[in-house]
Homo-oligomer: A and B are copies of this chain.
Amino acid sequence: MQTQPSVHPSGAAHITGPARALTTRATRTLPIDRWLLRTFLRAAGNPPVRCVLPNGEAVYTGDGAPVGTVRFNDRRALHRFLRQPELAFGEGYTDGAIEIDGDLVEVVAAAYGKPMHPLVDRLFFSARRPRANTLAGSRSNIHTHYDLGNDFYRLWLDDRMLYTCAYFPTPEATLEDAQIAKMHHVCRKVALRPGERVVEAGCGWGALAIHMARHYGVTVRAFNISHEQIAYGREQAAREGVDDRVEFIEDDYRNITGTYDCFMSVGMLEHVGPDNYRELGAVIDRSLLPHGRGLIHTIGRTRPARLNAWIEKHIFPGGYPPTLREMMDIFEPYRFSVLDAENLRLHYELTAAHWLRRFEQHRSEVARMFDERFVRAWRLYLAGTTVAFRTSLLQLFQVAFARDRFNGVPWTRAHVYASPASA
């Protein structure tokens, strides 16, 4: 709201800029280039994607018709890609040195659709820790992504500005309805009761905090270190008349004080980093009353792997999606009893597809706010997210838990499905 469309927030500085590829190009192609690319494609499982070398020569190792074409317009971009595929593909696509003909999502999906050679797999997906999420580091990491301007996110998120996986009762549901359903889904899982006190860690633009106060009669203290999001949340809470029951606090989850009936965190754990899970557990442990329950909603993995290198560098600095095993560092030291874990992977594929479609509809406005490089980078990020959930590179876990000796937990999960989530 406060951000002017013409201002480039600092968080976008490393993506925006002149398109290098448009100025200088090395289009010469040597036989070694062709050989290296073919070898790479074979190790990657011969995906049904046609590649075109800088001199215009096509290379294809797949069976049947290709899904689309990847053009390496620049020999340097090709060689960088062969060395560091994730990072160089993202950067090359951003600056135009790499182009894609065909549907971006389908081409990226085709590239990830085949089982890779174990060595390739190990090289690109071996576990590596993300950059540190210290108190200062987290503030910088979060600023980079979430302070790009509320006007930007408003262009392609739902009208309540939820930037986390939605819950689609059926695949045909609208994104708006699915985000409301998601909020009811998490509230029902922890069985919120009127008058209870909830602490929310990483509250985004405040939609869930406001929803809990409005629909479940609870009071909420919502923590977030994104300045723009907190300001928006406060404004919204006042507009919806719940500012007496929702308190937004611009501070780190590690500084949460007070005791609560429920700990809620939707889409923050991705930014916490595995080194800090035990400390997060300690925060929850000191915050929860004896009958306390909680829920953590996070992007996850089937096995440990670093985030895509380009995403970690340019989109989500410090991001790390955990496995369920890694998440147990939050619960096990404090004997929290895990009540329920649900994997909503395919709901995130659909959520990201909605976002991508809306983003494309507003691409000219995004280009005016930032520039063409930014449009290309974010298009690739949203398409890649869609693909990552479709191909199971990423999972979406909702984990509900409680104090181990609390016997007042819901008897079954039937109440979660008792009636359609109402707006």
Contact = CB atoms under 8 A, between A and B. Distances in A.
Contacts of A324: 324, 328, 338, 341
Contacts of A332: 302-303, 323, 325
Given A302-B331, A409-B346, A392 B340 contact: no
12 contacts: A169-B414, A302-B332, A303-B332, A323-B328, A324-B328, A338-B343, A339-B342, A339-B343, A340-B341, A340-B343, A392-B405, A414-B417
A404 B392 contact: yes
A395 interface: yes
B337 A343 contact: yes
A391 interface: yes
A342 B411 CA distance: 11
Given A346-B407, A412-B417, 4 more contacts: A324-B341, A339-B342, A340-B343, A341-B341
Contact of A170 (B303, B342, B407, B411): B411
A334 to B, nearest CB: 9
Contacts of A373: none
Given A346-B407, A392-B405, A337 B302 contact: yes
Contacts of A346: 407, 409, 411
A154 interface: no
B335 A338 contact: no
B342 A404 contact: no
Interface string A318-357: 0000011100100111011111111101100000000000
Contacts of A342: 339-340, 413
A413 B404 contact: no
A417 to B, nearest CB: 4
Nearest to A420: B414
A102 interface: no
A169 B323 CA distance: 31
Contacts of A416: 413, 417
A133 to B, nearest CB: 22
A206 to B, nearest CB: 26
A371 B302 CA distance: 51
A390 interface: yes
A403 to B, nearest CB: 9
Contacts of A18: none
A171 interface: yes
Q: Which 10 A-B pairs have the closest CB atoms?
A: A341-B341, A392-B404, A325-B328, A417-B417, A414-B417, A302-B335, A339-B343, A303-B332, A392-B405, A302-B404
Interface string A168-183: 1111000000000000
Interface string A87-116: 000000000000000000000000000000
A139 to B, nearest CB: 31
Interface in A390-423: 390-392, 395, 404-405, 407, 409, 411-414, 416-418
